[in-house]
Amino acid sequence: MAVKARRLGVKFRPHFKTHQSKLIGHWFREEGTKSITVSSVSMARYFIGDGWEDITIAFPLNLRESDEALELSTRADLNVLITMAEPLESFGQLMKGGHRPVGIFIKIDTGYNRTGLTLADNEKIESIINTCRKHSMLTFKGFLTHTGHTYNARGREEIDMISREAFLQLRSLKDKFDSGPGDLLLSVGDTPACSLLEDFGGMDEIRPGNFVFYDVMQTMIGSCGTSRIAVCLACPVVSKEPSRNEIVVYGGAVHLSKESVFHKGKTIFGLVCSLSDGGWSEPLDDCYVNALSQEHGVIKVSKEVFNIIKPGDLLGILPVHSCLTAQCMGNYLIDGNIVEPHM
């Protein structure tokens, strides 16, 4: 992804919410990454502690964390997201000497319908820009969107259509509100688009996150094949139910979350692999996580697999949503070693 960003002339600001690991962050540094995205003030603190100094907190400004965010702005260059002028005014009034200027991105809703302003919100956008101008320690950086509705797409054509519409909206905002030398930034970030597109239509930076591991959902979307999924949950077999060809593992909703996808006519919570010292296999035929409770995972398997597996064995589960599984588990086993628990 870093090579692609350089080739296409866009800034690479990967989202670290997927892995949340200092060690994995070092792998990005080895590829020349200097700027990152996080999803919370606490995550920003964690990575600032490992020497990262250019961070966008891609979550609407939370006034209850203003003091902590301002403290972090003495140690790193921070960008925050704004959807309303009122919290920005309160935040600006708190800034004092010793802080670095904080960059302000206006969050734009380009169709995901979660947070953000729209093309029709001219007065609100102007109010935010004017608030930035009132406070010398606030710098209006540009417009940012997350085209999360690409996660509902299937295939390159749909992803391209959603992305092109988002790019068009952001460019029109830049044309309307960039009164300076054209230096307002346009920032986009979603793994499906960043994986498949070869043209980012005038955008300045990309912020994909999930691509570092990928997951079953991304294979359904078309972002990758199963061989590109780079994280797997190892689950001990605790029971077998012969009448239903089901295997029960210690690996439930608290480990995988309850994210699901519709796969081959069924709602599934993960695909099943065999494990080896060197990693894991491609998904086993006719084997999938059928149900989850808090600690239990119920796996439907073929009769052949059922006859081979015994209690105490480990099965691998490719998660539907790797970001949530990584968050739930809290650490990684890499090359036989447990990596430090992430934040």
Q: What is the pTM of this model?
A: 0.95
- Tell me which of 165, 182, 212 is where a domain ends: 212
Render pLDDT for 318-333 as a digit per residue (tens, 0 to 9): 999 999 999 999 899 9
Cβ(245)–Cβ(301) under 8 Å? yes
CATH number, position 323 = 2.40.37.20
What CATH code is carried by the domain that includes residue 148? 3.20.20.10
pLDDT more than 90, % of the chain: 93
On whether both 161 and 231 belong to a single domain, the answer is no
244 and 142 within one domain = no
Per the structure, how many domains does the chain have? Answer: 2
**173 lies in the same domain as 250:** no
205 shares its domain with 242: no
In terms of residue numbers, what domain contains 164?
A: 2-212
Q: What is the pLDDT of residues 73-130, one digit of tens each?
A: 999 999 999 999 999 999 999 987 778 999 999 999 999 999 999 999 999 999 999 9
Same domain, 164 and 29: yes
Does 73 map to a domain?
Answer: yes
φ/ψ of residue 113, rounded to 5:
65, 45
Q: Which residue has the tokens 């009164």?
A: 179
Whether residue 37 contacts residue 1, with contact meaning beta carbons closer than 8 Å, is answered with: no
Does residue 41 sit in the same domain as residue 187?
A: yes
Q: Is residue 277 part of a domain?
A: yes
- Dist CA 100 CA 70 (whole Å): 9
Whether 100 is in a domain gets the answer yes
In a domain, residue 106? The reply is yes
